[in-house]
């Protein structure tokens, strides 16, 4: 039985990971999607505001997506998401980081226009092994209600 | 001379692309970061809300980042971004799409705490070849002010 809307009450849903992130992954993502010197070039990165090679913020978001997918989305009756309410990049993603993901449900409500659906607003926080928050993301996901709930 | 804060007044900055997106790219991104059936499996995708294989929303964001990088960020005195104010996924990214990116400056203001910097709020809209908006993203970027501007 997949997880349904009813399985996501407000509060802490869970913590997922760790997910190890290598320098090669950081460089490969940057080369494909975000070729800025601070994500690609050790020497330029050392002189940047982030003082050393850091992963693209979009790489971190994509890793958070993967951790959400493995953690619960691929076993939930999810129909996708209309977007992202907010992302805050708080501290740089570094080569060798071991990420964990705290997942909280901020709000869960049923859809007025589509009574078989619920909208669950998640807040996800990615942390490194020291517990430092690297990014926070708030995003709604559409999830089916339990059979017979309507 | 790199582009500085002064080069980003409110209004349309430019339109970039086209960037062709292949089925293989969509499948590769999904396998790595967003392994949901609607992004990976033709048959499951046909039955999903999006009625056919679609790229991950995070893939589309990452492609928009690449188009911004090629379009202007890598030739601007950019210091990075604190996050994303909002993303709306409006229509599915399909295999074979040719993306263009409209880039508008919503707001440009100088930093009070760091007078050498400006904060430019961009709104980017990704469109397919038919002009249909696939996603809108609003995000601030920190950009140095022109030498001698302070």
Distance from CA of A50 to the nearest CA of B (A): 9
ipTM value, please give it. 0.96
DSSP label of A72: T
Cα radius of gyration rounded to whole Å, chain A: 17
Residues A84-96 have pLDDT tens digits of 999 999 999 999 9
Name every chain A residue with its beta carbon within 8 A of the beta carbon of B38: 80
CB contact set of B13 (below 8 Å; sequence gap of 6+): B72, B103, B104, B105, B122
User: A131 Cβ partners below 8 Å, 6+ apart?
Assistant: none
Q: Tell me the per-residue pLDDT of B114-124, one tens digit each, with 9 for 90 and over.
A: 999 999 999 99
The CATH topology of domain B5-144 is Thiol Ester Dehydrase; Chain A (3.10.129)
- The alpha-carbon gap from B74 to the nearest alpha carbon of chain A, in Å, equals 6
Residues whose CB falls within 8 Å of the CB of residue A62, separated by 6 or more in sequence, listed in order: A29, B29, B32, B33, B34, B58, B62
pLDDT value at position B150? Answer: 65
Q: Supply the pTM of this predicted model.
A: 0.96
DSSP symbol at B122:
E
Chain A residue numbers touching B61 (CB-CB < 8 A): 58, 61
Confidence band of A150 (pLDDT split at 50, 70, 90): low
Whether residues A34 and B65 touch (CB distance < 8 A) is answered with: yes
**For range B80-85, the mean pLDDT:** 96
pLDDT digits (tens, 9 = 90+) for A45-67: 888 878 899 999 999 999 999 99
- What is the model's pLDDT at position A119? 97
B86/A82 CB distance under 8 A: no
pLDDT at A149 over 80: no
Substitution target in A50, A52, A69 with the highest count of B β-carbons within 10 Å is A69
Query: Percent of chain B having pLDDT more than 70?
Result: 99
Q: In this complex, do B85 and A83 lie within 8 Å of one another by their Cβ atoms?
A: no
Condensed to tens digits (0 to 9), the pLDDT of residues A21-35 reads 999 999 999 999 999
Taking CA atoms, B142 is separated from A108, B79, B121, in Å, by 35, 5, 9
DSSP state of A82: S
- Chain A residues in contact with B32 by the CB 8 A cut-off are 62, 66
Please answer yes or no on whether B38 and A80 come within 8 Å at the CB atom: yes
Q: Do A38 and B83 touch (CB under 8 A)?
A: no
Task: Identify whether the C-beta of residue A10 lies closer than 8 Å to the C-beta of residue A108.
Answer: yes
- With cut-offs at 50, 70 and 90, classify the pLDDT of residue B35: very high
Query: Which band of pLDDT confidence, cut at 50, 70 and 90, is reported for residue B46?
Result: confident
What values do phi and psi take at B70, rounded to 5?
-65, -35
For residue B80, pLDDT over 80 is answered with yes
Q: Among residues A16, A38, A13, A44, which one has the least CA distance to residue A26?
A: A38
Q: Shortest CB distance from B33 goes to which of A50, A62, A82?
A: A62
Task: Provide the pLDDT confidence category of residue A2 given band limits of 50, 70 and 90.
Answer: very high
Are residues B33 and A89, on separate chains, in Cβ contact within 8 Å? no
């Amino acid at each position: 039985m997949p997880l349904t809307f009813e399985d996501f009450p407000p509060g802490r849903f869970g913590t997922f990971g760790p997910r190890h992130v290598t320098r090669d992954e950081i460089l490969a993502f940057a080369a494909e999607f975000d070729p800025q010197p601070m994500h690609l070039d050790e020497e330029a990165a050392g002189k940047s505001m982030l003082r050393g090679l850091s992963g693209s913020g979009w790489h971190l978001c994509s890793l958070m997506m993967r951790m959400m997918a493995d953690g619960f989305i691929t076993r939930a009756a999810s129909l996708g998401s209309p977007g992202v309410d907010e992302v805050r990049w708080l501290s740089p993603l570094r080569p060798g980081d071991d990420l964990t993901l705290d997942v909280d449900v901020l709000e869960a409500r049923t859809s007025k226009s589509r009574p078989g659906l619920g909208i669950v607003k998640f807040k996800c926080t990615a942390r490194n092994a020291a517990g430092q928050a690297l990014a926070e993301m708030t995003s709604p996901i559409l999830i089916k209600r339990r059979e017979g709930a309507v």
